[in-house]
Amino acid sequence: MWKKLFAWLDERLGLNDLYKATLDRPEPKGTWWNTLGSASLFLFIMQGVTGIFLAAYYTPSPDHAYDSIQYIMTGVAFGWLIRGIHHWGATLMVLVVFIHMIRVFVTASYKYPRELTWLIGVGLLVLTLGMGFTGYLLPMDQKAYWATTVGTSIAGSVPFIGPFILKALRGGTDISALTLNRFFAAHIWMLPAALAALIGTHLYLIIRHGESAYPDKDD
Amino acid sequence: MAGSDHISRRDFVKLTTAAVGTLIAAAVGLPAIGYLIDPALKSSKADAWIPLGKVAAFPVGKPTLVSFTQSQVNGWEKTVTSHGVFVLRKSDTETVVISNKCTHLGCQVNWKTDKQEFICPCHDAQFDINGRVVGGPPPRPLDSYSGDQLKVENGTLFLHFMEG
């Protein structure tokens, strides 16, 4: 019965081919360092899921942002767990993505034909840092306020177009309700959408080229 | 090794991975469900004994208006609502509390001593001293509280007020 159902689905969806391409690929001999890309992907999914759950209670308004997070931490069942995973997962993701990049650099995996995979990876790193930066403002406490003040001021120090960048980031000259709302929109819609698209391409390229073998003495 | 009691290395790894995976998924998944449905599990009824004043201070036979506020907390938001009730001492022992909220559209009724009626300023509804409809559009008598909903402690009258 199940076999028949699976065969029917497989014939139409190509499940077996999909499985072979994604999870049963031939791989060169690797180490635990080769698992960091998958770890980054897992963390991205985990951040997405816990983030969606947090959005059920969080309010992106300067009047209520802090209170709503206090409520998540003390008033909602397991709110501390969901926010804790999101908080520490964010830090861990930046760390894992960074070490993943160092591994690719050290093993020279960015070379032909994988230059595009590397370039997209650079984009993913920048977007991950962007997620960290925008997410940091959302609690709207003193730390968040001043971190955003300093961060956007640094962007504002660019010659000539600095003041424009600063106003575009803050949604005005000061940190305000507009800043919080556009950081929130960036954090839950724009950056994740861009991340998902780039991750898709990154994965496609990995499946297409296979993982790189470690360089040996002849290389 | 078909037919052998020993489980193969591959099957062991598969089984362990599935077991550990299920365990982790349950450890995070079940709290996540609790997190989402949490507001549905909390009682939302505002339920409190409101002190209305010393019983002896209320005149017998004349409704006296007492105002109080009731606050309700929803998540991180606190809503304060004002309420008014008439305390009517029918005799030294019998006290009844009547809501001042007109049963027609919720305006606040006033006690008119000369007419011995509660009059609603909005649509001229009239209620007698016990809250029964005398005239006008209201569909039912004014809400009243008596018996279990009232108590006297150390001479102070308390109203068991519920909302929601």
- B31: nearest CB among A56, A68, A81: A81
Mean pLDDT taken over chain A: 94
**Two tokens at A210?**
């296979």
Task: Return the percentage of chain A with pLDDT > 70, whole number.
Answer: 100
Suggest the residue from A46, A52, A53, A57 to mutate for an interface test with chain B (most B CBs closer than 10 A).
A57
What average pLDDT score do residues B48-76 get?
86
What mean pLDDT is predicted for residues A182-203? Answer: 97
Q: Give the nearest chain B residue to A79 (CA atoms).
A: B35
Q: What's the pLDDT tens digit per position in A108-136?
A: 999 999 999 999 999 999 999 999 999 99
pLDDT digits (tens, 9 = 90+) for B101-131: 999 998 999 999 888 999 999 999 999 998 9
pLDDT classification of B164: cutoffs 50, 70, 90? very low
Q: How far is CA A193 from CA A12, A40, A127, A179, B156, in A?
A: 29, 16, 10, 20, 63
Cβ-based neighbours of A97, under 8 Å, separated by 6 or more: A40, A124, A125, A128
Q: Is the pLDDT of residue B50 over 90?
A: no
Contact check, Cβ <8 Å, B75/A75: yes
Cross-chain CB nearest to B76 (options A64, A81, A85): A64
Q: How far apart are CA B58 and CA B62, in angstroms?
A: 8
**Interfacial A residues in 43-62 facing B (CB < 8 Å):** 53, 56-57
Per-residue model confidence (pLDDT) at position A52: 97
Lookup result for tokens 């177009």: A161
Is residue A45 scored above 90 in pLDDT?
A: yes
Residues of B in contact with A67 (CB under 8 A): 76-77
Average pLDDT, chain B: 87
Q: How far apart are the first and last CA of chain B?
A: 67
A113: cis peptide before it, omega within 30°?
yes
